[in-house]
């Protein structure tokens, strides 16, 4: 039987293709053996699990904090943002109780929850970042897994978490303050708002359109960070110190709900004691008119408030802020600890 030349040629070509393919396959196997795929280690799984737990527990804690504390926050901002009365005139609100009465009379109980849409929409992200960043900093500072951190280390963790949350807090606070201050400023002479906002999204749209785009939403970033960093350092430092004091040692796992509420509430009070004047400056900067600003910056706002209203001007709304902070942070930390424990 004769085999013609074309058949021989095809046969040799097939052999050559198979030989080259086998070489390529062996090369791929060699590369894969040089760079093997490692399975996720137990430590990495633990890390991811801790982050997920902090995210979940922080979110639930934030929702509890917002529901309890927002009416107090509304009154605080209204007191902070009311214009300085002219000589011989009375201020719009004589105090926190008067602000509550006027708000409820003019807007109903819903008026106390004005501006809640913005923080409610971001509370999950805000508290998730706060508690998860704090949790990761705790992991970095521990000498070994499970080690209890000192109070000073918790202060460092709180400060680090404060830096991270400032980038979420600034635009959220701007929207909230504009909505809360709107009714307080409307109808007064100096300081009258130039526009009316229909809600959180309307504030965001108007700021993006007419106040420099994204940069406009970050107006007041400096005082926001100046509030969040030392404030959260005090918050988490005092919380840990009180837990250890109530537990009689560094093991705080056996504390009851009452102790957690007490530690969380007093930690919240420490937050505002540390940073309240900075919060007043932040509020007036964020509601300041874009086209005709009253203040050139944070330092100017601080100086002018001090000059015209004295030391008292830097603590406008301090009563409602403290009244809010204790129950709101007590609810936040209790919800966080209970959720974290349930997920353990």
Kindly write down the DSSP assignment for every residue of 154-201, as one continuous string. Answer: HHHHHHHHHHHHHHHHHHHHHHHHHHHHHHHHTT-STT--SS--SSHH
Residue 14 has pLDDT above 60, yes or no: no
Residue 192 has pLDDT above 50, yes or no: no
Q: Is residue 55 part of a domain?
A: yes
Residue 15 has pLDDT above 50, yes or no: no
Q: Is residue 302 part of a domain?
A: yes
Look at the chain and report how many structural domains it folds into.
1
Q: Is residue 179 part of a domain?
A: yes
CA angle (266, 272, 274) in 5-degree steps: 100
pLDDT at 50: 77
Q: Is residue 25 part of a domain?
A: no
* 209 vs 126, residue with greater confidence: 209
* 199 vs 285, residue with greater confidence: 285
Residue 172 has pLDDT above 70, yes or no: yes
Q: Is residue 273 part of a domain?
A: yes
Quickly state the pLDDT bin for 13 (edges 50, 70, 90).
Answer: very low
Q: What's the rounded mean pLDDT across residues 67-74?
A: 86
Residue 328 and residue 306: Cα distance in Å, rounded?
29
pLDDT at 344: 74
Model confidence, pTM: 0.76
Residue 83 and residue 80: Cα distance in Å, rounded?
8
- Contact in structure between 74 and 323 (CB atoms under 8 Å): no
Q: Is residue 101 part of a domain?
A: yes
Q: Within a 13 Å sphere around the CA of 88, how many CA atoms are in the beta-carbon half? A: 0
Q: Domain of 101: which CATH number?
A: 1.50.40.10
CA angle (63, 69, 74) in 5-degree steps: 120
Q: Is residue 58 part of a domain?
A: yes
pLDDT at 185: 59
Q: Is residue 16 part of a domain?
A: no
Give residue 338's domain range.
Answer: 46-343
């Amino acid at each position: 039987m004769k085999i013609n030349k074309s058949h021989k040629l095809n046969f040799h070509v097939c052999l050559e293709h198979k030989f080259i393919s086998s070489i390529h396959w062996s090369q791929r196997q060699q590369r894969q053996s040089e760079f093997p795929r490692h399975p996720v280690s137990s430590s990495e799984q633990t890390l991811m699990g801790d982050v997920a737990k902090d995210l979940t527990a922080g979110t639930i804690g934030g929702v509890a904090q917002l529901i309890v504390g927002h009416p107090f926050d509304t009154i605080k901002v209204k007191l902070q943002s009311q214009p300085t009365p002219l000589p011989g005139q009375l201020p719009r609100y004589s105090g926190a109780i008067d602000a509550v009465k006027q708000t409820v009379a003019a807007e109903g109980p819903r008026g106390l929850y004005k501006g809640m849409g913005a923080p409610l929409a971001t509370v999950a992200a805000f508290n998730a970042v706060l508690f998860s960043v704090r949790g990761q900093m705790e992991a970095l500072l521990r000498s070994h897994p499970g080690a209890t951190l000192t109070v000073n280390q918790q202060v460092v963790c709180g400060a680090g978490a404060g830096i991270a949350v400032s980038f979420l807090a600034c635009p959220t606070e701007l929207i909230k303050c504009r909505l809360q201050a709107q009714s307080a400023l409307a109808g007064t002479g100096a300081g009258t708002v130039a526009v009316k906002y229909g809600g959180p999204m309307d504030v965001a749209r108007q700021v993006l359109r007419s106040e420099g785009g994204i940069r406009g939403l970050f107006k007041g970033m400096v005082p926001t960070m100046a509030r969040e960093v030392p404030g959260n350092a005090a918050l988490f430092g005092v919380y840990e110190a009180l837990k250890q004091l109530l537990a009689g040692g560094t093991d705080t796992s056996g504390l009851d709900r009452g102790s957690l509420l007490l530690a969380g509430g007093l930690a919240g009070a420490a937050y505002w004691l540390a940073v309240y004047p900075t919060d007043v400056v932040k509020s007036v900067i964020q509601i300041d008119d874009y086209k005709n600003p009253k203040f050139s910056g944070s330092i100017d706002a601080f100086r002018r408030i001090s000059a015209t209203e004295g030391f008292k001007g830097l603590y406008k709304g301090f009563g409602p802020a403290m009244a809010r902070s204790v129950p709101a942070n007590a609810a936040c930390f209790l919800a966080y600890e209970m959720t974290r424990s349930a997920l353990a």
